[in-house]
Each structure stands twice: as structure tokens, then as C-alpha cells.
Chains A and B, each alone.
Chain A
Amino acid sequence: MQVKKTNYTVNATPTFEVLTEDEIEAIYYSALRVLYETGVRVYEEEGVEVAHSGGAIVEDTTEDSSLVKIPPWMVDKALSTLPSKVVVVGPDREHRMELYKDQIYFGAGSDTPFTWDPYTGERRRATYEDVKNFAKIAQAMPNMDFHMSLGIVQDVNVGTYDRWQYLAMLEGTTKPINITAVDLDGLRDQLEMAYIRVGGKKEFEKGPTFSLYIEPVSPLSHSEEVVQKLLFATDHGIPFVYTPCPLAGATSPCTLAGTAVQALTESLFGIVLSQLRKPGAPMIIGGLMSNMDMRTTVYCYGSPEMALLSAAYTQITKWLGVPEYETAGCSDAKMFDEQAAMEATFNATTAALTGGNMIHDVGYLEQGLTSSMDMMVATNEIVGRVKRILRGVPVNDETKALDVIEDVGPGGHYLEHDHTYNRFKDLIWQGELTDRQNWESWDLGGRETFRDRVHAKVLEVLEAETEPLMEEDMYQELRRICELADERHKDEELDFDMFV
């Protein structure tokens, strides 16, 4: 430890900051103003009622919604009971996320309509099998800490696909899962499934095995379903991600600070509502902000603005002491190519360097419309590098190694020294898919590119024999819930197949 003055330790971890503390405060207090003076529109009566009884001003009530204005003291009160740490575990408790300041976890994104078929190389609608396979990949990737459904299951009924997605993920992984739900009924079913998987309601309550993704609509709108899910999750001790997805220049101001203000306002409403409903209810607030591409009108998943906004939001949430949802490992490229690798490297690096908590969307291509196993495997390698960088250059008597330098002396070498032997594996990062061969070896080995090696790894994981993660009885019990849901909701379906 290098001691400069009493009680002062040099921080070995490199950090990336885009806001000063004054700027963070300016954004936070501006969000309080928007929440109080502009207000948010809430499309759910019970939510309006909860806010109102907690002190919110309710105006301009129409047939389907009300304008809700939250005075700053309500936010203070809510933040005082909001947990600064949220834990989500895998069903066997082996994998866990402890979400609080600077704790970094990477994982997939969710619900892409399309996926790249790893065998045929075609982009097509995602199926149950794909979602299961993605979970299998996530399970095998050491730098993937949690999982989401990389594909909407579209070979089942549309109104109940969420249960099937959850089942497919449970078949493939024992890592913590961030689920999506089509509606309240879907959430209820998945909670029932989680109880079964983990061994009962009490077990779930000891450590929830999923968190729930909830997305209010920018600008400043909280739909009926969103509020219902929030209230249900709060009532049942389900940690939830409350993440608006504003598009700078389209659904939020073009200026990044303005987008941060608006996104924070949207999340703060969720915080107030959850804490009014149940003080201490766990939640994670969003960090999914980007800009609209002004040529194509798409939501950019690989832009430098997204990385900047994510960094800013991470700093804001750390200052607030609220666990955060971050975005990285994703790209606007259509397939896993050089642009995809470049964008994932940039956003994964900035996300990690700023200390985002639950960093999702690994595996996203085409602005979140297509998932790619190659992208996930490549990002796993990228994250490995980033984690090495995060360990920084610790400077202390041991690492300065003056005695070793003295020992070896001028003209010697360190290869045989115990100091090297005991440390090199830990200190010199070795990627699994990174090529460092000399020319001859690479040439003789068939001149494999990074893309080739990544794809070979995908196939290797998919084809590896693995033990089922659940007993057959349990699987059948979970499957039954999905089938019953299909039966209950069959009348809502179209009378023809929508996708396949």
C-alpha cells in the first residue's frame, strides 16, 4: 500500500467520470423540479391513488389517466427507505448478484424478435429452442453473471410467451434471471414457476431468483401495465428494474443532460410509488438511454452518446445510492462484425469503468431487434479484458518488487523466478479466443479469424453434453403452468399463426 498521508490509500481501479458532483446535483434537483412542476402521466387508477394518498398532487384527470405531480419531500422520504443494495440469486444460490455501488455484473438483453441461427446463418424469428440455447451459452460464459431472454419465443402463443421464455431460460441456466412479463397474469405465473424451481415461496423470499424488467414510456408516461407490475412486484418482494428508454432528440431532449434529467424523473416516480406502497421494496433504476439516429430514426445501441449517458446515469445513481441497470455489449451492426466488436468494446469498457451494476444487453445486434450467440461469446472475451483493466496497477512494496529486481540484477531474467511463477497466471490476462500466435502457427492452423474462433466456441458450447438443470418432474410441473396459461388466454390469439 502506498501511503501518501495518514489514512490515504491510492485507488488502484481506473475510473471514468463524465460528471462532477455539482453536475450530478444539478441534474438531480432539476429532476425534482420536473417531477413536481411538469409532472408525469399515470394510466393506472390505483397507482394514482397510491401517489395521491402519499401527498402527490393529481391534476387533469381524463378517462384513462391523470397528471401526477410529486413534491420534493416525497422523493426525500422515498429515498430514505429505498434499499441501497439489492441481491438477486440463481435458483441453487451458487450464482448471485449483489447490486450496489461499483459492483459490476454483465448479462444478456431481452426479447429480441429476431435471432441469428448459429447453424444456417440466417436471421429469423426466435423460438423456444433459441432462448434455451442462449441460456446455455450464458451458463458457460464466466463473465456473464445474470441472464435475460435473448429472443422472444415466437413458436408459442403470443399472449403467454413470457412463461415459455422463463421455462426455456430455466432449462439452460442457473444464473440469476431478469424476466419480462406480458402482463400481470404473466408475472403471477412466472412467480409461481420461480417458487416451484427454488423450493417454495419462503425460499424465494430469502433471496429472489429473478428480478422483473419494467419499462415506463418516455416522455414521462407510466402505463397501466407498468404500474400494475410495479405494485405487484412491490407487494411480493420481487426486485424490479424500472428503466425508461428515452431517445435523445425524439422522446427526450437532444442534449444529454436534458435526457438524464428526464430519465431520472421517470425513475424517481417509480421509486416514490414503490416506497409508498411498501417502504424498503427493492428496485434497480434504469440506465437505458440513447439517441435517435437522425437518418434512420432507429434507437442507437452502439453510439458514443449511449456510452456517455450510461456513464452519467451510473454516477447519478451511485450518488443517490440506488442500484443501477446499465447497457453494454450491444451494437447497431446487423451481424457480428467489426462494428459490433468495436461498439461492444466501447460500451462495455465505459460501463465497467464507471461502475455500473447490472449491465445488460450483451448479445444485442440491430438496435435490439436481433440476438446473436457470437456477439455474446465475443463480449464475454471483451469483458474479460475490461475486468483485467479494472484491476489497475496496484503500487505497493510487493508489486514494486525491488527485492526481485535486486535478486535478478542487470542482465538476468525473470522467467524462472518464483516471483513470476507464482503470479503470472493471475496478472497476465489470457483470453480464450484472442489470437497471439506467430505467423507460422496461425498460417498452419488455418488462418482463423476472431469471428471463426468465436463461432467455433458457440458451436462447442451448444454441442457440449450437459446434465439437465432440473428434475423431469419439476420441468413437467413448470410446463403445466405454461400450458394452463395458454389454455386460459387462447381466445385472445389470432386464429392463424402470427410468425411461424
Chain B
Amino acid sequence: MSTVYEKLATAVLEGNSDAVPDLVQEGLDEGKTAKELLDNGLVVGMDEVGVRFKRGDMFVPEVLMSAESMKAGMTPLRPLLAEAEEEMLGTIVLGTVEGDLHDIGKNLVGMMCEGAGFEVVNLGFDKPPEDFIDAIKEHQPDIVGMSALLTTTMRAMGHTIKAIEEAGLRDQVKIMVGGAPVDQDFAERIGADGYGSNAPSASDLAKKFVGAA
């Protein structure tokens, strides 16, 4: 008979989001704490997802299903974790910069980061610097992620970072950037803290920023 931890990890791995809330309840009924269910169940499942994805044994749609299951588990756990004053992994504000309507890459990053245990505030696309600044003030994120698919809108990333600096908020957040034409060199030139070449690497980078990897 597998433990509730194993069952949770398996449900996350298999992307069975319907089963996860019931399993969380089962664990709570057994007297496990929210933190224990998160660390020994959900996170164990997502870690295995990460391993299999990197090995090429899992594919993006499957990883997203797992991330969805992780989220389904977080919904009942979140208030309990807050009550117990447990530290969450962190909050990420994400958006595609001004002038750019490309959405999918940034959304993938958002889903992967949620799967990793972050709170994600997804601003959407075509977001001017002010929207990023307002979101930083409102959500107090640890990380800001920006996406651009066009060379012309890559420039807007630089403008946004500058605006965040001018608003006096730069020191509060780590900034990561991504998008097909972006690379590490460009990220450094515009003063970002890091570059993610794809969604999993952005998620890894975010974990690194908060000292969780």
C-alpha cells in the first residue's frame, strides 16, 4: 500500500489533477501538515517530471498536465501554508513587453514556474513599462520575467528595465528575459539578471534566483 505522499507524487507525475485535491484531503485527514504534503508529495512528483522531461521521456503537454495537477494541489494547501506562516517559493510577475502580441512562450514559462511551486502573476502581452511597475508595487514579486519575439520589441525590454530602475524598484526584483531572438549577451547588455533559453530553463533560473536550486 503506497503512502499518501507516493500517491500525490504519482498523481502529479501522471497529470491527474482530478485526484490531487482528494489526496491532499486524505493526507490532511491522516494528520500530515500542508508543508509535509507539499514537500514530500507534490514537489517530489514535479521533481521527477523535471528529470524525465530533461531526459526526453516526457513532453511539454504532459509536463503542463503535471503542472496543472500541482496547481490543483496548491489551491487547498495555500491558505494552510499561509496560516502556518510557511515561506512559499516566491512570486513571479510575467509579461510580454510593449508592442509584442506573442503570448505562448511566456505562458509556457508561467505554467512551468507554477509547476515548480511559484506564485505567478501573468500580465499578458503588449505590456508597457508602467504595467510592470504597477505589478511590482502591487504583488511585491521576487522575480520579473519579460518576453519578446521581435528584435524591435527586444528594445522594449531594455526600456522596461530602465523604467523599473527609475521607479526605484530594480533592487527589489530579479529580472529574467527570454524569447527566440534573445540571448545571454543581450540579457547582460540590458542589465537583466538572467536569460532563459526555453521554459524549463526559465523555471530553473527562477529557482536559482530564490535559492531553491
- A is bound by B: yes
Q: Is A498 an interface residue (CB 8 A)?
A: yes
Q: Which of B6-14, B80-88, B97-105 contacts A (4 or more CB under 8 A)?
A: B97-105
Whether the Cβ atoms of B186 and A499 lie closer than 8 Å is yes
Q: Is A296 an interface residue (CB 8 A)?
A: yes
Q: Is A393 an interface residue (CB 8 A)?
A: no
Q: Is B155 an interface residue (CB 8 A)?
A: yes
Whether the Cβ atoms of A250 and B104 lie closer than 8 Å is yes
Q: Which of A130-138, A189-197, A488-496 contacts B (4 or more CB under 8 A)?
A: A488-496
Query: How many residues of A are in contact with the other chain, CB < 8 A?
Result: 34
Q: Which of A153-161, A351-359, A441-449 contacts B (4 or more CB under 8 A)?
A: A153-161
Q: Report if A294-B104 is in contact (Cβ < 8 Å); known contacts: A113-B181, A497-B189.
A: no
Query: In the assembled complex, how far is the CB of residue A113 from the closest CB belonging to chain B, in whole angstroms?
Result: 4
Residue of B nearest to A152 (CB): B151
**By DSSP majority rule, is chain B's interface helix, strand, loop, or mixed?**
helix
Whether the Cβ atoms of A297 and B189 lie closer than 8 Å is no
Q: A-facing mask of B176-195, CB < 8 A → 1, else 0?
A: 00001100011001100000
Tell which of A158, A221, A250, A296 touches B198, judged by Cβ atoms closer than 8 Å. A296
Whether the Cβ atoms of A294 and B181 lie closer than 8 Å is no
Which residues of B are found within 8 Å of A18, using beta-carbon distances? none
C-alpha gap A298/B198 in the complex (Å): 9
Inter-chain contact total with CB atoms closer than 8 Å: 64
C-alpha gap A224/B189 in the complex (Å): 29
Whether the Cβ atoms of B60 and A158 lie closer than 8 Å is no
Q: Is B152 an interface residue (CB 8 A)?
A: yes
Q: A-facing mask of B160-190, CB < 8 A → 1, else 0?
A: 0010000000000000000011000110011
Whether the Cβ atoms of B60 and A159 lie closer than 8 Å is no
Q: Report if A223-B101 is in contact (Cβ < 8 Å); known contacts: A249-B61, A499-B186.
A: yes
**Residues from 144 to 194 in A contacting B, C-beta threshold 8 Å:** 152, 154, 158-159, 161, 182-183
C-alpha gap A152/B149 in the complex (Å): 13
Q: B-facing mask of A17-58, CB < 8 A → 1, else 0?
A: 000000000000000000000000001000000000000000
Residue of B nearest to A64 (CB): B126
Q: B-facing mask of A111-144, CB < 8 A → 1, else 0?
A: 1010000000000000000000000000000000
Q: Is B108 an interface residue (CB 8 A)?
A: yes
Residue of A nearest to B105 (CB): A297
C-alpha gap A251/B108 in the complex (Å): 12
C-alpha gap A159/B156 in the complex (Å): 11
Q: A292-B60, A498-B190 are in contact. List 13 more A-B contacts (CB 8 A).
A: A152-B151, A152-B181, A158-B151, A161-B151, A182-B152, A294-B60, A295-B59, A295-B60, A369-B180, A494-B155, A494-B162, A498-B155, A499-B189
Q: Report if A297-B155 is in contact (Cβ < 8 Å); known contacts: A217-B101, A369-B181, A496-B189.
A: no
Q: Report if A492-B189 is in contact (Cβ < 8 Å); known contacts: A292-B60, A294-B59.
A: no
Query: In the assembled complex, how far is the CB of residue B143 from the closest CB belonging to chain A, in whole angstroms?
Result: 20
